[in-house]
Amino acid sequence: MAGPAYALIIPCETFDRSNTGAAQPVRDYLDDSKGLFVRVCGGGDHLLYFGASNIVRDGNVCRYSEYGLNLSRTSPPRLERTAKPPQTYMLVSESETCPTPEAIKYAATNNVPQDVFEHLLHFWHDAIASR
């Protein structure tokens, strides 16, 4: 098991630009990538890194992606995206701004197209709203 699913069963800490205690490679990645946050999971010499892109809004769907990151062996070490495809998270939102992932849980959607995701959520909402 790897990636964000693995990260759910081991301790993780999430860092954004406001965290002054983040390790230098994490701060550098956030500054260089303009990413939303970096999640660091595990401990000691066995750390896993995941970087999130900024939230994008398209119609009523808010979306961001989370990428696996590797810590390079260069000096100084840097976080770099892995070749694995990202995990995509979506949320249907009627508000004008998209909430942060810390404020509300987004659904992991993998390769589900955005229009299909939105249609399924509207269908589900209508089903539970009816008798």
Overall domain count for the chain: 1
First to last CA, the chain: 40
| Mean pLDDT computed over 88-93 | 90
pLDDT in tens, 97-112: 999 998 899 999 887 8
Cis, peptide link before residue 76, omega less than 30° from 0: yes
Q: Are 17 and 51 in contact (CB under 8 A)?
A: no
Please give the residue range of the domain that contains residue 29: 4-129
Residues 6+ apart with CB under 8 A from 53: 35, 36, 64, 65, 66, 67, 86
What value does the CA radius of gyration of the chain take, rounded to a whole number of Å? Answer: 17
pLDDT at 72: 93
Q: Is the pTM of this model over 0.85?
A: no
pLDDT in tens, 19-65: 888 999 999 999 888 789 999 999 888 899 999 999 999 888 899 99
**Does residue 6 register a pLDDT over 60?**
no
pLDDT at 3: 53
Burial of 114 (0-12, 13-18, 19+ CB in 10 A): middle
Q: What is the C-alpha to C-alpha distance for residues 83 and 113, in angstroms, rounded to an integer?
A: 21
Longest Cα–Cα distance in the chain: 63
Helices H / strands E in the chain, number of each: 3, 8
pLDDT at 4: 55
